[in-house]
């Protein structure tokens, strides 16, 4: 059985598929993570772990072209953006390696009365990470790097459409010298993940994803008294109250909306413009968006590639059609070809 496949959104072609782990493989992975925490993390120093993480950063840079190509195939990210993400991931790993000693140093605190007190950071154990598809390297490293420095071990579940990149990143951590069980790529079902969170050997879970997925994970974590960190979706506003350079403000708005093919949790999704600037902003913003063409993400000058999948494009089309039916004005776009969606601007959108 497989729920994990690489389907190139630019072509619709299925390029690779990966089998979902069996229950026996999940048990082996959890056992290995637990053993690595008990043995490796407790027998190494912060400096030892920092050296491994620094090597992982180097390998991100050495393999940046390969990783970027995988990201483009998996979710349609423009290749220049994919290269930038790999570099950013390497920077994050390097940062934690460089700052490890300071991060892990004992922190004295003032107390009333006699004696002394410190805050000391130590590992918890195996942690489950449930990561999204929109930033296949960045999302992983910001979870994995600090936890590996502390000495926690990682059980990483990627998004179903990102098995190839997650496998490549697992290879980076192995090739950097992290031992068996310290970092593992887990191709699990939702039910298997729930069982992993409930497992007494697993000490916590981190998820980046939808509110629905976050609620499900939080319920299992809460019921089993596990530490949980959730980063869920948002609808961030781009607010213009005044400007000395309207053209620059418009371009900032375009960049904020189109970054990562418009598929970023912190991307601008609503534009709220003060009345006296609204007409001019709307005219310039609409023209600027209409001038952008969704094109092949492998081209060096591509600004906007396809959305992550044809299913995502179909859902987006339904949302736009519904908005127009309910009274919104379509200023530009609203059309698609496969997973390529024309930049679209809606005005006169009111709460339902």
What amino acid positions are annotated as catalytic residues?
Answer: 231, 265
Q: What end-to-end distance do the CA atoms of the chain give, in Å?
A: 41
Nearest partner of 285 among 324, 321, 316, 257, judged by Cα: 257
- Kind of pairing between the strands at 268-273 and 236-240: parallel
DSSP 19-61: PPPPHHHHHHHHHHHHHHIIIIIHHS-HHHHHHHHHHHHHHHH
Q: How far apart are CA 179 and CA 33, in angstroms?
A: 10
H or E segment to which residue 155 belongs = strand 153-157
Q: What is the 3-state secondary structure (H, E, C) of 214-274?
A: HHHHHHHHHHCCCEEEEEECCCEEEEECCCCCHHHHHHHHHHHHHHHHHCCCCCEEEEEEC
CA 332 and chain centroid, separation: 29
Q: What is the 3-state secondary structure (H, E, C) of 291-338?
A: CCCECCCCCCCCCECCCCCHHHHHHHHHHHHHHHHCCCEEEECCCEEC
Q: How far apart are CA 34 and CA 28, in angstroms?
A: 10
Question: 3-class DSSP state for residue 204?
Answer: strand
């Amino acid at each position: 059985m497989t729920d994990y496949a690489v389907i190139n959104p630019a072509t619709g072609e299925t390029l690779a598929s990966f089998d979902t782990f069996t229950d026996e493989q999940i048990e082996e992975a959890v056992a290995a993570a637990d053993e690595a925490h008990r043995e490796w993390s407790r027998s190494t120093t912060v400096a030892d772990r920092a050296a491994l993480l620094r090597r992982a950063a180097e390998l991100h840079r050495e393999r940046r072209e390969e990783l970027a190509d995988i990201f483009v195939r998996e979710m349609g990210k423009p290749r220049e953006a994919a290269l930038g993400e790999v570099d950013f991931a390497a920077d994050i790993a390097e940062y934690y390696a460089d700052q490890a000693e300071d991060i892990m140093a004992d922190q004295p605190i003032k107390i009333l009365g006699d004696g002394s007190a410190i805050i000391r950071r130590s590992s918890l154990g195996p942690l489950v990470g449930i990561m999204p598809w929109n930033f296949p390297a960045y999302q992983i490293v910001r979870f994995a790097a600090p936890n590996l420095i502390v000495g926690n071990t990682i059980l990483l579940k990627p998004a179903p459409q990102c098995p190839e990149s997650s496998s490549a990143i697992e290879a980076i951590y192995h090739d950097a010298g992290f031992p068996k069980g310290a970092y593992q790529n887990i191709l699990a079902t939702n039910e298997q993940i729930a069982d992993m969170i409930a497992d007494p050997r697993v000490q916590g879970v981190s998820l980046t994803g939808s509110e629905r997925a976050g609620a499900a994970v939080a319920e299992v974590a809460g019921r089993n008294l596990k530490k949980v960190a959730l980063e869920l979706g948002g609808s961030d506003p781009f607010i213009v109250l005044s400007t000395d350079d309207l053209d620059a403000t418009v371009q900032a708005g375009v960049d904020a909306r189109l970054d990562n093919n418009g598929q970023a949790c912190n991307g601008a999704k609503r534009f709220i413009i003060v009345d006296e600037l609204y007409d001019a902003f709307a005219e310039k913003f609409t023209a600027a968006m209409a001038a952008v063409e969704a094109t092949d993400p492998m081209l060096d000058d591509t600004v906007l590639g396809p959305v992550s999948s044809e299913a995502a494009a179909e859902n987006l089309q339904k949302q736009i059609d519904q908005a127009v039916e309910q009274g919104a004005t379509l200023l530009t776009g609203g059309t698609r070809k496969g997973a390529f969606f024309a930049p679209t601007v809606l005005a006169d959108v009111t709460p339902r």
